[in-house]
Amino acid sequence: MSVKQPSVAESLKHGMVETIGGVGDISEATVDAVSRTIVRALEGVDEVSGALGSVIRHTVTETVAAAYEVGAEIGATARGSMVGILRGTQEIGVEAADAAEDAAHALVTSTVAMGGDLARAARGAIEGAIQGAGELGIDAEEAAAAAANGALDAAEQVGVKATDAVRKVVTGTIRGVKVVAAEPFRSDARRQL
């Protein structure tokens, strides 16, 4: 009889639940766990850019689920996830803006799926992009704009009210960085529906 080995995402979720439960600081607990998961999942992959989006989505989905399981605040979860993703992807040589956009999209989508506050998730993703950029020596405005675009894109898929709520929290100056997001893809006529 063979024993089923847990997937990377399942291992992450289990580890996050234990770590968060013991530490109580979701942001710090998330950074290292997410970074390690990203690097481990993409080690030896020939076409990293093709696998990146899927790895980020799975990692974020399990991280958000673990955070909700222990009652952690979604903004801190999003911030720690984003920093961890930026660290992990830099280690394997992936463009930070691409990772930030994918991560923010996944954070908002996963938060919505859990019935959480997508505006807090979006704000946490932007803060994490800014923090991660500062730590890694990359352009904070570019990372923040990419994260804002990913969050807005995910919110747009939910609806007009979600898009408006996210737009309010991801534009302007956040942590001393001017965030300039591209406008969502809806036309003004469709937005009024």
Banded model confidence at residue 174, pLDDT cuts 50, 70, 90: very high
Tokens, residue 16: 């996050």
CB 79 within 8 A of CB 69: no
pLDDT at 3: 46
CB 150 within 8 A of CB 125: yes
Measured distance CA(172)–CA(149) in Å, rounded: 13
CB 82 within 8 A of CB 104: yes
* Residue 176 identity: G
pLDDT in tens, 138-155: 999 999 999 999 999 999
pLDDT in tens, 71-114: 888 999 999 999 999 999 998 888 888 899 999 999 999 999 99
Measured distance CA(5)–CA(49) in Å, rounded: 26
| Nearest CA-CA partner of 116 in 59, 171, 77 | 77
pLDDT at 23: 56
> For residues 70 and 121, which has the higher predicted lDDT (pLDDT)?
121
Q: Which spans in the chain are helix H?
A: 8-23, 26-42, 48-69, 74-91, 96-113, 118-136, 140-158, 160-170, 188-191
